[in-house]
Amino acid sequence: MKATLPTLLISALALGLVACDREQSSDTDMQTSPGDSAAELATAAVNKAESDSQDQHFDTLSEKMIEELWQLFPSWAVSKGYYAVADQLQVPNDAYRDRVLAFARQYREQFSQLDAESLDANDRSDLALILNFLDRTEWELTEFQPHLWNPAEYNVSHSFALILNTEYAPLEERLRTFSERLENVPVYYDAAEKTLEKPASPQLVLAIQQNQGALKVFEGEVEEKLAGSGLSEEEKRLFRERLENARKAIREYITFLQTRHSELEESQDYRNFRIGEELYEQKFAYEIQIGMTGRELYERALTEKEKLHDKMEELATELWPKYFPDQQPPEGRLEKIGMVLEKLSEHHATKETFKAEVEKQIPELVAFVKEKDLLTLDEDKPLVVRTTPPYMRGFSVASINAPGPYDKGANTYYNVMPIEEFSDDRADSLLREYNKYMMQILNIHEAIPGHYTQLIYANQSPSLIKSILGNGAMIEGWAVYTEQMMLEAGYGDFSPELWLMYYKWRLRVVINTILDYEIQVKGIDEERALDLMVRQGFQQKAEAMGKWRRATLSQVQLTSYYAGYADILALREEMKEKLGDNFDLKAFHEKFLSYGNAPVPVIRELMLGELQ
Ligand code: ZN
């Protein structure tokens, strides 16, 4: 952000003189006569002033947009650590959607008038993200329209849980915010019921489950906190009244959904959860933002799956005599790979030691990254390993919970599922899956130098836009990229066991892409999907069934891992080619991460720009 221009010029620009500035600046290069140094200097000064003013105008406009954005999307604001609007809950009715649409169109109009070419690199890439976001917002409201068919869109619990559980302010202040926010819960669910048309089946089932879970946020803990707080008796009375109304509204919504569910079970007249090729490609373009179509990525994934099977076969053949000294390998290569993987999975932690093992590995990863000089790690922000708090428990074994752009000083948590509380059977299956080898890949991916490291760099990036409108493919792609990068650098001492297990992990990433496309576009059923995951991907059946469910609930997101990974790897190879002997891996990593959560093609443009 820059703040060097006289105020007068800024306000003139803000009043709508942008268009003529744009024409001038695009002409000036040609008008300059090469020999006339005074004229050249003058022109350069004008150009500089113009591009500064464009940058200034861009900054002002994007700040204004973010302010309005948080008013329109207070729950999103809370998830980013911006609590100034936390007492508000928007009611998802037609009037609200009209306002969002008007917001998107109006800012689209204003941002389109800026001359992208005259912006500095950082603002230019922010602008691309903003335009993509505004287009996508309009597309969601007018084309994709999940508010009509996805009842799981309606769930108020998450922000309430964050307000209650994040210590961003004293408890009393948070409880007052909570209370204000509760007021709209009944009208919120009322609008949801009025908006919904014919739902899709998996989304309907999920909505029932999630809203049942949501009720817990409004019981027990919150009542205890309220009772022990310094709120006045009158405040407490009002709080309890609103709390009761909110619970009632959620229960009524659940009943409404259950009734719809039994009607539709009868008629089997659900909306198709598969979104089809056209919507898929549109969603892919908005969300993934790489230079290829969903179909192209899918085809690439099919080829990659074959290559991975080849590599895994080689390693399985090498390891066979060590683990099965008196046994002939089976005929089929997938069977052989599967047997070796099964054998290796026997090396795992116990229910009781799992979390401690995860914790123990973090300093080892830090030491390795330092020793090999792979990138600089911020020592001021230690990672706190903890058991996943109840309100955050879902599907994942481990996840990173990083502070948002407004709350950079807060702790970063590494949430680990409480496996010690599981039944022996369930725990055993999980422990085999996250065995001694896989646990290392998991820790690289989630923690160091994967998500945790990337998010710390992202919070240091000067761009608020990139933090807010972050690109999922870049974030997941980085984590997947680091797994390979660490192993290539010698982590695990090139043990064939670790590499084989790593290929299984990467195969899962590749299969996620295939699965998503084949379910959403080609319409494969659960049986075909399970064959892909279990027989061709060596996944446990329970895990694969969970993935099938996830793949029927989301679209495109499952491709982000492979899309981002492939793009980052291609960029690294391109930079190696361009820089030759001057290529430095550490410098590449730090530069790459310094731009924040931008789409990889945008980072590529910025990196190439700086080379020149
Ligand atoms: Zn991840």
Q: Can you give the pLDDT at residue 31?
A: 30
User: What's the burial of 423, exposed, middle or buried (CB within 10 Å: 0-12/13-18/19+)?
Assistant: exposed
- Residues 510 and 563 placed together within one structural domain of the fold: yes
Measured between alpha carbons, how far is 539 from 472 in angstroms, rounded to an integer? 24
Going by pLDDT thresholds of 50, 70 and 90, the confidence category of residue 51 is: low
Look at residue 24 in the predicted model and tell me its pLDDT.
28
* Residue 40 clears pLDDT 70, i.e. is over it: no
pLDDT > 70? residue 121: yes
Distance 445 CA to ligand 1 centre (A): 6
Q: DSSP for 134-151, please give it.
A: HHHHHHIIIII-HHHH-G
pLDDT tens string 268-300? 999 999 999 999 999 999 999 998 999 999 999
User: According to the model, what pLDDT value does residue 57 have?
Assistant: 92
| 398 membership: H or E segment, kind and range | strand 398-401
Separation of alpha carbons 225 and 353, rounded Å:
33
Is 129 among the domain residues? yes
In 3D space, the residue among 208, 262, 486 whose CA is nearest the CA of residue 371 turns out to be 486
Same domain, 294 and 172: no
Q: pLDDT above 70 covers what percent of the chain?
A: 91
Hey, which residues does 385 pair with through a beta bridge?
Answer: 414
Q: What is the pLDDT of residues 186-212, one digit of tens each?
A: 999 999 999 999 999 999 999 999 899
CA distances from 288 to 91, 266, 351, 511, 558 (A): 29, 38, 37, 17, 10
**Burial class, 94, CB count within 10 angstroms (exposed 0-12 / middle 13-18 / buried 19+):** exposed
612 inside domain: no
Pair 348, 200 in one domain: no
pLDDT digits (tens, 9 = 90+) for 370-397: 999 999 998 777 788 998 877 667 667 8
Report the sign of the C-alpha dihedral through residues 114, 117, 119, 125, in that order: positive
Question: 510 in helix, strand or coil?
Answer: helix
End-to-end CA distance of the chain: 23
pLDDT band for position 70 (cuts 50, 70, 90): very high
Same domain, 237 and 343: no
* Number of independent structural domains in the chain: 3
Dihedral of alpha carbons 33, 34, 36, 37, sign: positive
Q: Does 206 lie in the same domain as 145?
A: no
What separation in Å is there between the alpha carbon of 419 and the centre of ligand 1?
Answer: 20
Instruction: Give the distance (Å) from ligand 1 centre to CA of residue 512.
Output: 13
Same domain, 323 and 425: yes
How do residues 134-187 score in pLDDT, each as one tens digit? 999 999 999 999 999 999 999 999 999 999 988 899 999 999 999 999 999 999
Which range is least confidently modeled, 231-245, 396-410, 497-511, 571-585?
396-410
Q: What is the pLDDT of residues 568-605, one digit of tens each?
A: 999 999 999 999 999 999 999 999 999 888 999 989 98
Instruction: Give the pLDDT score at 36.
Output: 43
Q: For position 86, what pLDDT does the model report?
A: 97
Tokens at 491, concatenated? 């982590």
* Residue carrying structure tokens 């290569």: 333
- Residue that terminates a domain, selected from 149, 183, 208: 149
State yes or no: pLDDT of 37 exceeds 70.
no
- Distance from Cα 447 to the centre of ligand 1, integer Å: 9
Q: What is the mean pLDDT of residues 53-73?
A: 94
The more confidently predicted of residues 268 and 43 is 268
Tell me, in angstroms, the distance from the centre of ligand 1 to residue 397's CA: 11
Residues 6+ apart with CB under 8 A from 564: 290, 471, 472, 473, 474, 475, 476, 477, 478, 480, 481, 600
Q: How far apart are the CA of 479 and the centre of ligand 1, in A?
A: 6
| CA separation for the pair 79, 403 (Å, rounded) | 9
Mean pLDDT of 228-242: 98
Question: What residues make up the domain containing 579?
Answer: 285-603
Reported as a pLDDT band with limits 50, 70 and 90, residue 541 is confident
Both 534 and 505 in one domain: the answer is yes
What pLDDT is recorded for position 390?
A: 72
200: helix, strand or coil: strand
Give distance in angstroms: CA of 398 to centre of ligand 1. Answer: 9
The conformational region for residue 110 under phi > 0 = left, psi -120 to 50 = alpha, else beta, is alpha
- Whether the pLDDT of residue 7 is over 80: the answer is no
Cα–ligand 1 centroid distance for 597 (angstroms):
14
- Distance of CA 542 from the midpoint of ligand 1 (Å): 20
Task: Examine residue 609 and state whether it is found in any structural domain, yes or no.
Answer: no
The pLDDT value given to residue 425: 87
Hey, which residues does 416 pair with through a beta bridge?
A: 387, 398
Domain final position from 107, 126, 149 = 149
Query: Do 82 and 181 have their domain in common?
Result: no
| 168 alpha carbon – ligand 1 mean position (Å) | 26
Q: Clarify whether residues 167 and 90 are in a common domain.
A: no
DSSP 225-257: HHHTS---HHHHHHHHHHHHHHHHHHHHHHHHH
Half-sphere exposure of 380 (CA within 13 A, CB side): 6
In a domain, 257, yes or no: yes
Shared domain for 39 and 184, answered yes or no, is no
How many A from CA of 96 to the centre of ligand 1? Answer: 33
Dist. CA 371 → ligand 1 center (Å): 25
pLDDT (0 to 100) of residue 237 = 98
Last residue of a domain, one of 149, 176, 211: 149
CB 141 within 8 A of CB 92: no
Ligand 1 mean position, distance from CA 285 (Å): 20
pLDDT at 114 over 80: yes
Q: What percent of the chain has pLDDT over 90?
A: 73
Instruction: Please tell me the distance between residue 561's alpha carbon and the centre of ligand 1 in angstroms.
Output: 7
* Inside any domain, residue 280: no
Give residue 117's pLDDT.
86
Ligand 1 center–CA 606 separation, angstroms: 24
Spacing, Cα 198 to ligand 1 middle (Å): 33
**Non-local CB neighbours of 510 within 8 Å, separated by 6+ positions:** 301, 304, 305, 308, 562
Q: Let me know if residue 474 belongs to a domain.
A: yes
Whether 209 maps to a domain, the answer reads: yes
My answer on whether 372 and 424 are in the same domain is yes
Q: Please provide the DSSP assignment of 433-444 as one string.
A: HT-HHHHHHHHH
Tell me what the mean pLDDT of segment 502-516 comes to. Answer: 97
One domain for residues 515 and 372: yes
Residue 275 maps to a domain:
no
Q: Is 599 helix (H, G, I), strand (E, B) or coil?
A: coil
Distance 348 CA to ligand 1 centre (A): 22
Who contacts 75 (Cβ-Cβ below 8 Å, separation ≥6)?
A: 89, 90, 156, 158, 159
In this prediction, residue 130 has a pLDDT band, given cuts at 50, 70 and 90, of: very high
Neighbours of 36 (CB within 10 A): 11
Backbone angles phi, psi at 595, to 5 degrees: -85, 0
What is the per-residue pLDDT across 399-441, written as a single tens digit (0 to 9) for each? Answer: 888 777 787 777 888 999 888 888 898 888 889 989 999 999 9
462-491 average pLDDT score:
93
With 70 as the cut, is the pLDDT of residue 29 above it?
A: no
